[in-house]
C-alpha cells in the first residue's frame, strides 16, 4: 500500500486561459460576493484551518499569464498540492486548451512518479442553461490524475466553496492513485 503523510497545509493553484474567472473565483470565495472589477491576479490567500471543512490551513494561489513567465507558473505547479484548471463553460476553446495545453504542462512539471491531483472547473454556468460535463469524460480517461470536474459560477457563488472543498479533499482523501505505479519497476 502506498501511504503519503497528510500535509499540514493544502496549497491550491488555479490555472487556465486568461479571462476564465480564476481571480473572480478566489475573490468570490473570500468576500462571498461577486465584483465586476478584480485585479489581474489575486494575492496569495491563506484560509485558516478552523474555517475550512477539513480543518487544514489552505493556501490559494492565482496565476496571470500576462504578468508571469512560464517558468514562474512552472514553479507554482511544483509547489502546489492540487491544481484546479479553470475553463469557461461558454467558451469551447478554453475547454479544448485543457487537454491540448494545460494538462501536458502540469505533467511536465510534476515528477513522473508523483502526479498531482487535478480538478477541472467549468466556471460561468450562469451564462448557459445546459451542462458541459459530458465533454470532459475523454479527458478524464486520458489523464487519470483528473480527480473530478465541477461546474460553478463566481458570479452567483454557485459551487464556489464546493470547488475549493473538493480540491482540499483531493489532497487529503485522494480517490485516484496519485502514484503512477505502471511506470515503476
Ligand atoms: P486573467 O487574469 O486574465 O488570467 O483572467 P482570470 O481567469 O483571472 O479571469 P477574471 O477573474 O479576471 O474574470 C474575467 C472576466 O470574467 C471578468 O469580466 C469577470 O467579471 C468575468 N467573470 C468571472 N467569473 C464569472 C462568472 O462566474 N460569470 C460571469 N458571467 N462572468 C464571470
pLDDT digits (tens, 9 = 90+) for 87-146: 999 999 999 999 999 999 999 998 777 889 999 999 999 999 999 988 898 999 999 999
**What average pLDDT does range 155-163 have in this prediction?**
97
124 Cβ neighbours under 8 A, 6+ residues apart: 20, 21, 88, 89, 90, 153, 154, 155
Q: Which residues line ligand 1 (CB under 6 A)?
A: 16, 18-24, 36, 38, 40, 64, 66, 123-124, 126-127, 153-155
- The SS3 of residue 59 is strand
The pLDDT of residue 7 is 56
Cα of 171 vs centre of ligand 1, distance in Å, is: 26
CA of 64, closest atom in ligand 1: 4
Of 62, 65, 125, nearest in space to 95 by CA: 125
**Pocket residue to mutate for ligand 1, from 14, 21, 42, 64, most atoms within 8 A of Cβ:** 21
Ligand 1, atom 5, lies closest to the CA of 19
The pLDDT of residue 182 is 47
Conformation bin of residue 124: beta by default, left when phi > 0, alpha when psi is -120 to 50: left
The pLDDT of residue 8 is 82
Ligand 1, atom 28, lies closest to the CA of 124
Tally of CB atoms within 10 A around 135: 16
Beta strands in 39-164 (DSSP E): 45-47, 58-61, 82-88, 118-123, 146-151
Predicted-complex ipTM score = 0.99
Read off the DSSP letter of residue 34. -
Whole-prediction pTM value?
A: 0.92
Amino acid at each position: 500500500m502506498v501511504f503519503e503523510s497528510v500535509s499540514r497545509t493544502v496549497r491550491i493553484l488555479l490555472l487556465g486561459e486568461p479571462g476564465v474567472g480564476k481571480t473572480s473565483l478566489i475573490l468570490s470565495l473570500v468576500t462571498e460576493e461577486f465584483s465586476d472589477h478584480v485585479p489581474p491576479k489575486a494575492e496569495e490567500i491563506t484560509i485558516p484551518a478552523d474555517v475550512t471543512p477539513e480543518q487544514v490551513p489552505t493556501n490559494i494561489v492565482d496565476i496571470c499569464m500576462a504578468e508571469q513567465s512560464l517558468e514562474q507558473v512552472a514553479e507554482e505547479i511544483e509547489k502546489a498540492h492540487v491544481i484546479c484548471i479553470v475553463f469557461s463553460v461558454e467558451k469551447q476553446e478554453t475547454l479544448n486548451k485543457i487537454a491540448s495545453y494545460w494538462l501536458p504542462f502540469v505533467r511536465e512539471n510534476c515528477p513522473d512518479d508523483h502526479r498531482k491531483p487535478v480538478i477541472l472547473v467549468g466556471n460561468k454556468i450562469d451564462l448557459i442553461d445546459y451542462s458541459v460535463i459530458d465533454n470532459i469524460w475523454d479527458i478524464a480517461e486520458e489523464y487519470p490524475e483528473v480527480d473530478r470536474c465541477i461546474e460553478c459560477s463566481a458570479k452567483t457563488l454557485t459551487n464556489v466553496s464546493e470547488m475549493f472543498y473538493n480540491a482540499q479533499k483531493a489532497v487529503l482523501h485522494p480517490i485516484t492513485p496519485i502514484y503512477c505505479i505502471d511506470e515503476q519497476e
